[in-house]
Amino acid sequence: MKRFFYWIILVIILVIILSIRVFVRTYSKTKFLFKGKNVYKIEFKDIDNKDIQLKKEDDKWFVLTSTHTYPANKERLRLITEKLEKFELLELISKKPVSYEDYQLNETSATKVKVYHGKNSITTIWFGKTGGFTYNECYVRINDKPYIYLARGITAEEFLDQFYHYCSRTILKSDIERVNYISAKIDNKKYEFVKELKDNTTTWLNLKISKQVSTDKINSYLRNFDEFIADVIIEPTDYDLTKLTKPISEIILKYDDNSQVLIYIYDKFTVKIRSRWTTDFLKLYPIKIKCLTNRGPSIETIADENITFCIYDFRYENLKSPLISF
pLDDT at position 223: 95
SS3 letters across 100-144: CHHHCCCCCCCEEEEEEECCCEEEEEEEEEECCCCCCEEEEEECC
pLDDT at position 38: 93
3-state secondary structure of 10: helix
3-state secondary structure of 82: helix
Average pLDDT over residues 207-223: 92
Average pLDDT over residues 311-316: 96
Q: Check pLDDT > 90 for residue 294.
A: yes
- Percent pLDDT > 70 in the chain is 90
pLDDT at position 29: 52
pLDDT greater at residue 259 or residue 135: 259
Q: How confident is the model at residue 325 (pLDDT cuts 50, 70, 90)?
A: confident
Rounded distance, CA 150 to CA 303, Å? 41
Average pLDDT over residues 94-107: 90
- Of 87-91, 199-203, 214-218, give the lowest mean pLDDT range: 199-203
Q: What is the pLDDT of residues 5-41, one digit of tens each?
A: 555 655 555 544 444 444 444 434 569 999 999 999 9
Q: What is the pLDDT of residues 38-59, one digit of tens each?
A: 999 999 999 999 999 999 999 9
pLDDT at position 137: 94
Average pLDDT over residues 245-253: 96
pLDDT at position 301: 96
pLDDT at position 3: 58
Q: How many other CB atoms sit within 10 Å of the CB of residue 224?
A: 16
3-state secondary structure of 247: coil
Rounded distance, CA 78 to CA 154, Å? 13
pLDDT at position 210: 87
- State the average pLDDT for the chain: 90
Rounded distance, CA 302 to CA 185, Å? 21
pLDDT at position 151: 96
- Asked if residue 204 lies in contact with residue 218, where contact means CB atoms within 8 angstroms, the answer is yes
pLDDT at position 16: 47
- Percent pLDDT > 90 in the chain is 79
Closest CA to 307 of 166, 165, 171, 161: 171
pLDDT at position 244: 93
Q: Estimate the crossing angle of helix 215-222 against helix 313-325, to 10 degrees.
A: 160
Q: How many other CB atoms sit within 10 Å of the CB of residue 67?
A: 11
pLDDT greater at residue 118 or residue 127: 127
* 220-226 LR contacts (CB < 8 Å, sep 24+): 220/322, 221/182, 221/322, 221/323, 222/176, 222/179, 222/182, 223/176, 224/318, 224/319, 225/172, 225/174, 225/176, 225/179, 225/253, 226/173, 226/174, 226/176
Rounded distance, CA 108 to CA 112, Å? 10
pLDDT at position 4: 52
pLDDT at position 310: 98
Q: Check pLDDT > 70 for residue 116.
A: yes
112 φ, ψ (degrees, to nearest 5): -95, 125
